[in-house]
């Protein structure tokens, strides 16, 4: 019997152990941080192809009309004109405008949807969906029957085309139901790395088979460590860092994923914020040296005032410099301005820069 | 984990090789492996006077930053300049090319506070 605090394992846990992965707790799951090493896995993804276990992520199915089911009210993004076979990124908010989660909505059929959420937040997301979705039997949490692999890198299409057909023409943020190892699976042209890549949703218990097939074709296994560096070079938000229940999507710079022409939970609060102006905003910055900003470092203006906090930071192998994202008080930091991040005495000089940090990603190729 | 026989070690996983009154200092195989890909090394100024176990350098990897403590008291007489362009030398060869600092030892008796290679080996086993 598992205790409530026991960490959950993905269907690939034993594969990770067999590959000698460094396993760490992440959002309630035992996940691989790295196998060969973060930089090697980063390089495989940017130059070749790598596979990530993302089975910890949650998946919900909703059957029914967009409005009647309540789905439309749950998501900030416009979904009414989403084509069958396409997906869209958006946010799930509380009434007060804080972010419960970021998610991707897939339109599987005219009146059938799949929602993909973060692993750590899956339970509270599910509770929110259950409160709002009108016909309870039309909401199914399939998180524990659905495994997920991310195959990412410029050679991901070539690799998958060796055993999957009918996905090759997919454009960014579209998907197809394909036959994968004898079973129907969703192959989605999405990812979190900035490279050409796919996410495959697959039956939980058969996920090791798919994982080993992909490794046997030459993909390198990659862990959370490289995944974080890759997403941060793209300037993508990570739940619990750039967005959480106390950060609004406007503060986080996600306004383009919010449709003010429709109704959604939290809209009144966001409209008010939009009118009055956000108190904070997210900035991206690059270190002038190889020193890396770290999550939790304070941000100081050039005259030494404390103006905010670093939400994510790492070393960027592409830039060979430290990079980071952070929330600063409104009006405090302007483009190209030199500011400082640090803790205690040692601080790092950084320059504010537009996102993404990495501009050569193949994700739209 | 590789441990060099004639070196001395700290509980923070620094190593020191003593040649007459000169101490050559770096971090152990265990430390470099735990840190992962090293991306930046901050070294002290030549001429800095330092006490045993005082922080005198830091190492950053993709994952985290870590302080480095000096195994012996003395004066910094040389730092490994190659580390500024190739911090990964520590990952590739932590006991030779990845050395960090040379110190003129002021008190060799401080050595009693360090572990021999056999003691360090046992210490590493106790961490497992």
Other beta carbons within 10 angstroms of residue A132's beta carbon come to: 16
Is the CB of B40 inside 8 Å of chain A's CB atoms? yes
Superfamily the domain A279-365 falls into? Aminomethyltransferase beta-barrel domains (2.40.30.110)
Any domain includes B71: yes
The residue-averaged pLDDT of B16-30 equals: 97
Fold of A8-54+144-233: Gyrase A; domain 2 (3.30.1360)
> B13 lies in a domain?
yes
Spell out the CATH class of A59-141.
alpha beta
Whether A38 and B37 lie within 8 Å, measured CB to CB: yes
B25 belongs to a structural domain: yes
Cis peptide before A356 (omega within 30 of 0): yes
For residue B1, tell me if it sits in a domain.
no
Cβ pairs bridging A and B (under 8 Å):
36
Is there a contact between B60 and A291 if contact means CB atoms under 8 Å apart? yes
Where residue B53 sits, what CATH number does that domain have? 2.40.50.100
> Is A8-54+144-233's fold the same as A279-365's?
no
Tens digits of residue pLDDT in B95-116: 999 999 999 999 999 999 999 9
Q: Is residue B91 part of a domain?
A: yes
- Closest partner residue to A37 among B36, B65, B87, by Cβ? B36
Q: Where are the domains of chain A?
A: 8-54+144-233, 59-141, 279-365
Stretch (H or E) spanning A123: helix A122-132
Q: What is the ipTM of this complex?
A: 0.85
pLDDT in tens, B37-72: 999 999 999 999 999 999 999 999 998 889 999 999
What does the pLDDT read at residue B92?
A: 96
Residue to substitute from B33, B40, B67, interface A, most A β-carbons within 10 A: B40
Is residue B40 assigned to a domain?
yes
Structural domain boundaries enclosing B59: 8-107
Rounded to the nearest angstrom, the gap between the alpha carbon of residue A304 and the centroid of all alpha carbons in its chain is 34
Angle between the N-to-C axes of helices A224-233 and A38-47, in degrees from 0 to 180, rounded to the nearest 10 = 50
Q: What angle do CA A122, A123, A124 make, to 5 degrees?
A: 95
Contacts of A22 (CB under 8 A, 6+ apart): A32, A33, A34, A35, A223
Strand-pair category, A50-53 with A220-222? parallel
Distance CA A297, CA A251 (A): 19
Q: How many domains does chain B have?
A: 1
CA angle B83, B87, B90 (to 5 degrees): 95
Cα B91 to its chain centre, rounded Å, is: 13
The predicted pLDDT at position A4 comes to 54
Q: pLDDT tens-digit profile of A116-168? A: 999 999 999 999 999 999 777 799 999 999 999 999 999 999 999 999 999 99
Residue B42 lies in a domain: yes
The parts of chain A modelled with pLDDT lower than 70 are 1-5, 344-345
Residue A1 pLDDT: 45
Whether A315 and B42 lie within 8 Å, measured CB to CB? no
Q: What is the model's pLDDT at position A78?
A: 97
């Amino acid at each position: 019997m598992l205790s409530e605090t026991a960490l959950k394992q993905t269907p690939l846990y034993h594969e990770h152990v067999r590959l000698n992965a460094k396993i760490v707790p992440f959002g309630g799951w035992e996940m691989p941080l790295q196998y060969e090493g973060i930089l090697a896995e980063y390089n495989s993804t940017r130059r070749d192809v790598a596979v990530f276990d993302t089975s910890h992520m949650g998946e919900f199915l909703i059957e029914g009309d967009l409005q009647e089911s309540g789905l439309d009210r749950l998501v900030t993004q416009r979904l009414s004109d989403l084509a069958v076979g396409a997906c869209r990124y958006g946010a799930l908010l509380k009434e007060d405008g804080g972010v419960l989660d970021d998610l991707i909505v897939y339109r599987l059929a005219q009146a059938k949807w799949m929602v993909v959420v973060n692993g750590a937040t899956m339970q509270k997301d599910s509770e929110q969906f259950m409160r709002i979705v009108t016909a309870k039997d039309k909401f199914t949490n399939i998180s524990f029957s659905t495994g997920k692999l991310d195959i990412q890198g410029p050679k991901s299409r070539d690799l998958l085309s060796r055993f999957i057909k009918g996905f090759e023409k997919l454009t960014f943020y579209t998907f197809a139901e394909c036959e994968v190892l004898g079973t129907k699976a969703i192959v989605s042209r999405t990812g979190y790395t900035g490279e050409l890549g796919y996410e495959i949703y697959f039956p939980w218990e058969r996920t090791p088979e798919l994982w080993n097939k992909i490794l046997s074709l030459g993909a390198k296994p990659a862990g959370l460590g490289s995944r974080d560096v890759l997403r941060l070079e793209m300037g993508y938000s990570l739940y619990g860092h750039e967005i959480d229940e106390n950060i609004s999507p406007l503060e986080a710079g996600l306004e383009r994923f919010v449709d003010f022409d429709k109704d959604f939970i939290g809209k009144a609060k966001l409209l008010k914020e939009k009118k009055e102006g956000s108190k904070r905003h997210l900035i991206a910055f690059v270190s002038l040296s190889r020193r890396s900003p770290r999550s939790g470092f304070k941000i100081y203006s050039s005259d030494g005032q404390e103006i905010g906090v670093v939400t994510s930071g790492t070393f960027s192998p592409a830039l060979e410099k430290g990079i980071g994202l952070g929330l600063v008080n409104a009006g405090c930091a302007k483009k190209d301005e030199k500011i400082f991040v640090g803790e205690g005495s040692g601080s790092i000089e950084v320059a504010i820069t537009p996102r993404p940090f990495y501009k050569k990603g193949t994700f739209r190729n | 984990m590789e441990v060099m026989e004639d070196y001395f070690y700290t509980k923070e996983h620094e190593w020191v090789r003593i040649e007459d009154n000169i101490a050559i200092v770096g971090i152990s195989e265990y430390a470099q492996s735990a840190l992962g890909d090293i991306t930046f090394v901050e070294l002290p100024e030549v001429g800095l006077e330092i006490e045993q176990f005082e922080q005198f350098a830091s190492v950053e990897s993709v994952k985290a930053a870590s302080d480095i403590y000096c195994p012996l008291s003395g004066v910094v007489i040389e730092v490994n300049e190659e580390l500024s362009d190739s911090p990964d030398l520590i990952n590739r060869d932590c006991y030779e090319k990845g050395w960090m600092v040379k110190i003129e030892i002021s008190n060799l008796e401080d050595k009693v506070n360090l572990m021999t290679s056999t003691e360090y080996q046992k210490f590493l086993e106790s961490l497992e």
